[in-house]
């Protein structure tokens, strides 16, 4: 995965993904200066996800979608879009759930926890089921984070039972769509390096 991270961008789409990553890092400073430290923290929370596609060796299009989705989700919070646009929250959970669940499947594939797309043990059914389960798990984890923030940080976070269930349902549906992407689309570069520590079966 280090080889993937150190590989320089070679196409316009790959450069676009790198520009989005740089904007993400700058967004933390912008949020701190123009808004407050809580907003800066929300944007900073996305930073690991912004660099993850580099380690995974995602194709430029998938890389840009993942990075762009995380930035839109973070700035939607900063700009209060979740409260000012009634359907925006569900839309972001739908898209974000799919993107993150697919990314998590590919991370586990790199670590040899699940079968990598195109490998001998890979099946589309397993990809659909596992990616959907990963998305539901991530949705539940996110709702726990929101509960923690509401309970211990600020009461401005909107928490209701209906909101929690609808968000998880949207995330699960998005994850199912992400499963189809994992199963039937080429999301990783052909030359993407698998984790060397776990690749003894290929030697």
Taking only the tens place, the pLDDT of each residue in 156-187 is 777 888 889 999 999 999 999 999 999 999 99
The count of structural domains within the chain is 2
**Which stretches of the chain score pLDDT less than 50?**
197-203
Crossing angle of helices 161-184/124-152, nearest 10°? 150
d(CA 141, CA 129) in angstroms, rounded, equals 18
* Domain enclosing residue 42, as ranges: 1-79
Phi-psi region of 92 (alpha: psi -120 to 50; beta: other; left: phi over 0): alpha
d(CA 66, CA 61) in angstroms, rounded, equals 9
Give the chain's mean pLDDT: 91
**Could you say which of 49, 79, 109 is where a domain stops?**
79
Same structural domain for residues 91 and 183? yes
Q: What's residue 7's pLDDT?
A: 85
Q: What's residue 201's pLDDT?
A: 43
Same structural domain for residues 46 and 71? yes
Q: What's residue 199's pLDDT?
A: 44
Run of H or E residues at 21: helix 12-34
d(CA 88, CA 81) in angstroms, rounded, equals 7
Taking only the tens place, the pLDDT of each residue in 104-123 is 999 999 999 999 999 999 99
CB atoms < 10 A from the CB of 177, how many?
A: 19
Q: What's residue 202's pLDDT?
A: 42
């Amino acid at each position: 995965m280090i080889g993937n991270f150190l590989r320089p961008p070679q196409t316009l789409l790959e450069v676009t993904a790198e520009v989005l990553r740089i904007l993400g890092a700058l967004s933390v400073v912008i949020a701190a200066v123009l808004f407050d430290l809580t907003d800066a923290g929300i944007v900073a929370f996305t930073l690991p996800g912004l660099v993850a596609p580099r380690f995974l060796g995602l194709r430029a299009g998938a890389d840009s979608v993942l990075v762009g989705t995380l930035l839109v989700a973070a700035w939607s919070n900063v700009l209060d879009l979740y409260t000012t646009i009634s359907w925006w929250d569900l839309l972001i959970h739908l898209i974000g759930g799919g993107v993150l669940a697919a990314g998590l499947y590919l991370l586990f594939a790199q670590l040899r926890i699940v079968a990598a797309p195109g490998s001998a043990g890979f099946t589309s059914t397993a990809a659909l089921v596992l990616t959907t389960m990963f998305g539901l798990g991530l949705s539940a984890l996110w709702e726990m984070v929101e509960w923690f923030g509401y309970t211990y940080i600020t009461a401005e976070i909107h928490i209701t039972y209906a909101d929690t269930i609808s968000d998880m349902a949207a995330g699960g549906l998005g994850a199912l769509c992400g499963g189809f992407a994992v199963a039937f689309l080429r999301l990783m570069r052909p030359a993407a390096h698998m984790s060397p520590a776990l690749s003894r079966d290929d030697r």
